[in-house]
């Protein structure tokens, strides 16, 4: 991580600790202890403005969008479409029509693969991925390459799991059609310099597809400034609802892409044997969309923009650095990514204790974290382990929860002694 960037984060004003009170779930108990939710890379808790926006939709104007001629349906459609403009501003594009609502990151990445990928990748072509991708940004490309007799190329990563521009350059060829990588990875928490990577990709005439599931939470995307072709993220990792996500696509590329899912509202004229399709983004939004969730996503984006990314980054960085210090100080704990504190993700193992066994110790202490391969078996292979523990931090966590994580890790380290 660029030291100037980290300095800017450290010197920005701290978030008000009262932010925690915006999240009702921070007040619950588990096993009779205050619930410490440290599984934020899997999904985040939801603040009141998001819950209230969704509740208001269902109570006051829960009508269909684009499918009703009455005043209330019009209100629902207006609210829904205004979120498209909010998302566009958030992502840094002047084009709301570049914003496709999806079911989440997985759906967005699959859409790019099944539409754009099917269109441009042929036999002998190459698709570049990294060995640290989530399955959602790995398996679709792997399977596309198998279908097309194309080559899946793995770009080398540095010791922190970061894809450096020179390393990407070393695998680019005239057959490279697509480069798919994460903004921030979900196990190593490695943050990519997307602007530099996009420049390499475009010099070779390929397109860059970014999995923004983790990145969008910790660094505000700038799709136009960074010259990104596709960027997918999920609402539920950004303090918004489940079941909704966004795919940003460069307008000129979306224009060329065929729809993948067919049905209501994505058509222009349906003739007996032929159908013409609507323009993007509606071409890619067949069927009834999750209206309340889109409205909740809009509220989540308003919420984070109101707090400001700098304050959120400072908070998460402080918590993660505290956890890195504490865990690295324990004799039997190995932290895999101590350099990547900016991303709020910490992957570690306790020597001699399987992560699944350890996770039951954390659970008894009222702490939620994740154990396993984190939907990235390629990363486990890259690390040379079967599974890890993963603690991940968000704006409502506090130092006492980090300290409980460290104490529980000591206990989990004694797990073998308890067993035998
Ligand atoms: N990519 C990354 C890096 C992720 O962390 C996740 C969620 N674990 C996904 C993709 C998939 O997101 P979703 O399940 O919301 O589609």
Which tens digits make up the pLDDT trace of 191-227?
999 999 999 999 999 999 999 999 999 999 999 999 9
Ligand 1 mean position, distance from CA 211 (Å): 8
Q: Does this model's pTM top 0.85? A: yes
The confidence score (pLDDT) of residue 66 equals 87
How many percent of the chain have pLDDT more than 70? 98
The confidence score (pLDDT) of residue 81 equals 97
Ligand 1 mean position, distance from CA 334 (Å): 25
- 259 burial (CB, 10 Å; 0-12 / 13-18 / 19+) is buried
Q: How far apart are CA 282 and CA 354, in angstroms?
A: 47
Which residue's C-alpha comes closest to atom 6 of ligand 1? 213
* CATH class as words, domain 3-47+308-419: alpha beta
**What does the pLDDT look like over 268-318, one tens digit per residue?**
999 999 999 999 999 999 999 999 999 999 999 999 999 999 999 999 999
Residue 160: pLDDT band (50, 70, 90) is very high
| CATH 3.40.640.10 intervals, the chain | 61-306
Ligand 1 mean position, distance from CA 213 (Å): 5
Which residues partner with 30 through β-bridges?
33
The confidence score (pLDDT) of residue 420 equals 44
| CATH 3.90.1150.10 intervals, the chain | 3-47+308-419
Catalytic residue among 113, 145, 310, 375: 375
Q: What share of the chain is helix, strand, coil (3-state, %, to 5)?
A: 45, 15, 35
- For residue 325, give the 3-state DSSP assignment: helix
Which residue's C-alpha comes closest to atom 14 of ligand 1? 106
**What does the pLDDT look like over 164-184, one tens digit per residue?**
999 999 999 999 999 999 999
Q: What residues have CB less than 8 Å from 154, skipping those under 6 apart?
A: 128, 129, 130, 131, 171
Check whether 1 has a pLDDT greater than 70. Answer: no
Rounded mean pLDDT of 155-159? Answer: 97
Alpha-helical regions (H) of 1-104: 3-10, 48-60, 71-91
- DSSP 8-class letter at 39: B
Catalytic site includes residue 375: yes
Rounded mean pLDDT of 78-106? Answer: 98
Q: How far apart are CA 200 and CA 190, in angstroms?
A: 19
- 11 burial (CB, 10 Å; 0-12 / 13-18 / 19+) is exposed
Per-chain mean pLDDT for the chain: 96
Rounded mean pLDDT of 347-369? Answer: 95
- CB-defined site of ligand 1, < 6 Å: 41-42, 104-106, 134, 136-137, 182, 186, 211, 213-214, 234, 236, 375
The confidence score (pLDDT) of residue 7 equals 85
Which residue's C-alpha comes closest to atom 8 of ligand 1? 42
Q: Do residues 146 and 121 touch, judged by C-beta distance below 8 A? A: no
Give, for ligand 1, the residue of 375, 376, 394 to mutate: max count of ligand atoms closer than 8 Å to Cβ: 375
Ligand 1 mean position, distance from CA 136 (Å): 7
Which residues partner with 181 through β-bridges?
210
Check whether 419 has a pLDDT greater than 60. Answer: no
* CATH class as words, domain 61-306: alpha beta
Residue matched to tokens 């504190």: 341
The confidence score (pLDDT) of residue 415 equals 64
Residue 389: pLDDT band (50, 70, 90) is very high
Q: How far apart are CA 97 and CA 349, in angstroms?
A: 45
Q: Do residues 224 and 195 touch, judged by C-beta distance below 8 A? A: no
């Amino acid at each position: 991580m660029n030291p100037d960037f980290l300095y800017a984060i450290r010197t920005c004003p701290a978030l008000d600790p009262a932010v925690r009170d915006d999240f009702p779930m921070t007040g619950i108990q588990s096993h009779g202890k205050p619930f410490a939710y440290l599984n934020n890379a899997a999904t985040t808790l939801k603040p009141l403005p998001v819950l209230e926006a969704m509740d208001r939709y269902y109570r006051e104007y829960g009508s269909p969008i684009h499918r009703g001629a009455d005043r209330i349906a019009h209100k629902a459609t207006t609210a829904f479409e205004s979120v498209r403009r909010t998302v566009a501003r958030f992502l840094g594009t002047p084009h709301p029509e570049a914003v496709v609502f999806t079911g989440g990151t997985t759906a967005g990445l699959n859409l790019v693969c099944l539409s754009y990928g099917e269109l441009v990748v042929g036999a002998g072509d190459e698709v570049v991925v990294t060995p640290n991708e989530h399955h959602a940004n790995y398996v679709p490309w792997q399977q596309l390459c198998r279908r097309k007799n194309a080559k899946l190329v793995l770009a080398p990563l540095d010791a922190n799991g970061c894809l450096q521009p020179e390393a990407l350059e070393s695998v680019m060829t005239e057959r490279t059609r697509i480069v798919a990588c994460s903004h921030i990875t979900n196990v190593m928490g490695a943050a990519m310099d997307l602007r530099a990577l996009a420049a390499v990709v475009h010099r070779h005439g390929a397109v860059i597809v970014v999995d923004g599931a983790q990145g969008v939470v910790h660094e505000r995307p700038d799709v136009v400034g960074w010259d990104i072709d596709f960027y997918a993220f999920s609402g539920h990792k950004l303090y918004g609802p489940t079941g909704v996500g966004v795919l940003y696509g460069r307008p000129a590329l979306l224009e060329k892409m065929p729809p993948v899912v067919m049905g209501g509202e994505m058509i222009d004229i349906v003739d007996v044997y032929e159908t013409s399709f609507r323009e993007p983004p509606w071409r890619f939004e067949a069927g009834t969309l999750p209206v309340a969730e889109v409205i909740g996503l809009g509220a989540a984006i308003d919420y984070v923009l109101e707090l400001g990314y700098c304050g959120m980054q400072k908070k998460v960085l402080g918590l993660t650095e505290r956890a890195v210090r504490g865990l690295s100080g324990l004799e039997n704990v190995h932290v895999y990514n101590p350099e990547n504190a900016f991303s709020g993700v910490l992957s570690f193992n306790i020597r001699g204790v399987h992560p699944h066994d350890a996770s039951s110790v954390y659970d008894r202490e009222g702490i939620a974290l994740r154990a396993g391969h984190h939907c990235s078996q390629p990363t486990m292979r890259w690390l040379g382990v079967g599974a890890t523990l993963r603690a991940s931090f968000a704006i409502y966590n506090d130092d006492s929860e980090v300290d409980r994580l460290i104490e529980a890790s000591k206990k989990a380290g004694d797990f073998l002694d308890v067993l035998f």
